[in-house]
Chains A and B, each alone.
Chain A
Amino acid sequence: MTTFLAITISGLALGAVYFLVASGLSLIYGLMDVLNFAHGVFLTLGAYAGWAVAAHLPQTSMTMFLITAAAATTAGAAVATATELLLIRPLYGSPVGQILVTIGLDLALVGLLLGGFGSDSRAVAVPGWLTGVTAIGPERIPNGDFVTLAAGIAVLAGLTWFLGRTRYGIIIRAGAENRDMVRALGIDVGRAFTVVFAVGGAAAGLAGLLNSVAFSSGLVNPVQGDQMLIFAFIVVVIGGLGSVSGAAIAAVLVSLVQEYVTFYAGSGGGLAQLGNMSVVLVLAVVLLARPRGLLGRTA
């Protein structure tokens, strides 16, 4: 029972990371119909920005970690904004061009990271508390899981508020329904596109750092984003294209199934990939039952 608790909390924390990546992907597709294959490298660059900033901070307190997290978030947002303005904007109306350019950008940036930092992982300096554990009964839960889970919940709450209460949020929701009509009300949809990319990139950058802290022993590497991207796309499809709530539900569903199957069915039996395979099974079942995903619009 106590192991179940630890696995569940670990699964929820992993779900928080999936959600941070998938929410941006989902918003970007929902508003702009852009399949952003460079989203994974936003995550990686966020993690590297966190690593670089943390290396220059004088101490590893939680305050310093917040600054590290802010750096990761800002880096993700900045790269995403530049991507939208410089590469995506000239290609609206050309889905194939968007796919090709985002794949190319991902390959190029990963290549640059490999060239600049090598393929060895780098360790982010984090406060001692973050690498420790908290005892709940006889079970010891990694503190990184709590922080990651809290960050995921905070971002979900923030995005819900942003989309539901702010004018830009309303524009984004309206744009997902009918972009032409938003333009016909005198609204510059292009600016909303940039905002969505920035928000998605910020969440991905934060996810990069938290993924390193909670699931990679504080290590960052050039391909971590690409490894995460496939699961993020699965979460987006299960949750429903364009739905942040759907992405949150799907992220929890996918991560819990993955963690439970990996632990209870995969460990010790030489079936380490069973958890990943179970995610694909969940995807197939959901799409058979609900082709639009859990809460999505028609693709």
Chain B
Amino acid sequence: MTVGQAEGYAVEAAGLHATIGGSHVLQGIDLSVPAGGVTALLGRNGVGKTTTLRSLIGLVSPAGRVRILGRDVAGWPAHRIIRLGVGYVPEDRDVFAKLTVRENLRLAETGPDMDYDRVYGLFPELRQRSRQLAGTLSGGQQQMLAIGRVLLADRRVLLVDEPTKGLSPKFVSEVVDVLDRVRDTATVLMVEQNVHVVRRLAQRVIVLDHGQVVHTGEAAELADENLVRRLLGVSA
């Protein structure tokens, strides 16, 4: 695939290769994420989903081409890619445990007039706990903080890695509701293992296996149990 020719894509990658610790994790990823809505990045454990997200924003240095919001960003440092208007919510939340909730949010400021009310409106609990150390929050609260942190500034692209992993049903519902609202204003590329969440949020799916894209299609296809079992090795 040639990156940069197609119009209307928020994120594109071509021939993406990445090696981590001697393991050839990405073996020529080609993908295109249309602008707007939610695209789910699916696959079994260890097929390279997280490495793909990290490669797109420069946290892993891949070989190949990456284009985000119309800019060729291969080789750019991560902070420069993020400043294009990209938000990243990592798999393990990665809130700063020794910083307060407010300080975690403050780190995400991109200017003087940040919309804290928007974040606190989405997650009222964060306002109540603004002086609490992030390391003392529950897993669900940390996920709220990780998502709230990227929503503080305007993001045109969100890369979200397993946002519901390890959360109780209450928090899963809350996180899904927020992502449901966010998809109206940003392009979301989401790694997610929970097929029900994918069906609820995503319009498109990209499936990886052994470091390569093996399927691209509509999320509605996940209604086909046989397809889900064949691609993901699980029952829907």
Contact = CB atoms under 8 A, between A and B. Distances in A.
Nearest to A191: B79
B223 interface: no
**Looking at B94, B98, B107, B149, which has the most chain A CB atoms within 10 Å of its CB?**
B107
Interface string B103-117: 110111110000000
A272 interface: no
A94 to B, nearest CB: 15
Nearest to B82: A186
Interface in A175-221: 177-178, 180-190
A170 B82 CA distance: 19
Given A174-B99, A180-B59, A188 B94 contact: no
A177 B98 contact: yes
A170 B83 CA distance: 19
A232 interface: no
B124 interface: no
Given A183-B79, A185-B107, A170 B99 contact: yes
A190 B149 CA distance: 21
Interface residues of A, number: 18
Interface residues of B, number: 24
Nearest to A187: B79
**Looking at B59, B83, B96, B110, which has the most chain A CB atoms within 10 Å of its CB?**
B96
**Looking at B77, B79, B83, which has the most chain A CB atoms within 10 Å of its CB?**
B79
B90 interface: yes
Contact of B96 (A173, A188, A189, A190): A173
Given A170-B103, A170-B106, A184 B98 contact: no
A70 B83 CA distance: 37
Given A174-B99, A186-B110, A181 B94 contact: yes
Nearest to A190: B77
B63 interface: no
B103 A186 contact: no
Contacts of B57: 184
Contacts of B107: 170-171, 174, 182, 185, 187
A167 interface: yes
B132 to A, nearest CB: 16
B99 A183 contact: no
B9 interface: no
Given A183-B79, A186-B79, A189-B79, A178 B59 contact: no
A186 B103 CA distance: 15
A188 B78 CA distance: 8
Contacts of B94: 178, 180-181, 184
**Looking at A181, A184, A187, which has the most chain B CB atoms within 10 Å of its CB?**
A184
A167 B105 CA distance: 11
Contacts of B58: 183
Contacts of B97: 177
A180 B96 CA distance: 11
A184 B94 CA distance: 10
A183 B78 CA distance: 6
B79 A178 contact: no
Contacts of A177: 96-99
B82 A185 contact: yes
B59 A184 contact: yes
Nearest to A181: B94
Interface in B89-144: 90, 94, 96-99, 103-104, 106-110
Nearest to B85: A186
Contacts of A188: 77, 79
A186 B98 CA distance: 20
Interface in A51-109: none
Contacts of B88: 184
Contacts of A189: 79
Contact of A181 (B77, B83, B96, B106): B96
Contacts of B103: 170, 173-174
Contacts of A181: 90, 94, 96
Interface string B27-68: 000000000000000000000000000000111000000000
Contacts of B59: 180, 183-184
A174 B102 CA distance: 13
Contact of B106 (A167, A178, A180, A190): A167
Nearest to B146: A181
22 contacts: A167-B109, A170-B103, A170-B107, A171-B107, A173-B96, A173-B98, A173-B99, A174-B99, A177-B96, A177-B98, A180-B78, A180-B94, A181-B90, A183-B77, A183-B79, A184-B57, A184-B94, A185-B107, A185-B108, A186-B83, A188-B79, A189-B79
Please give me the 5 A-B residue pairs with the lowest Cβ-Cβ distance, nearest first.
A186-B82, A183-B78, A181-B94, A174-B96, A184-B88
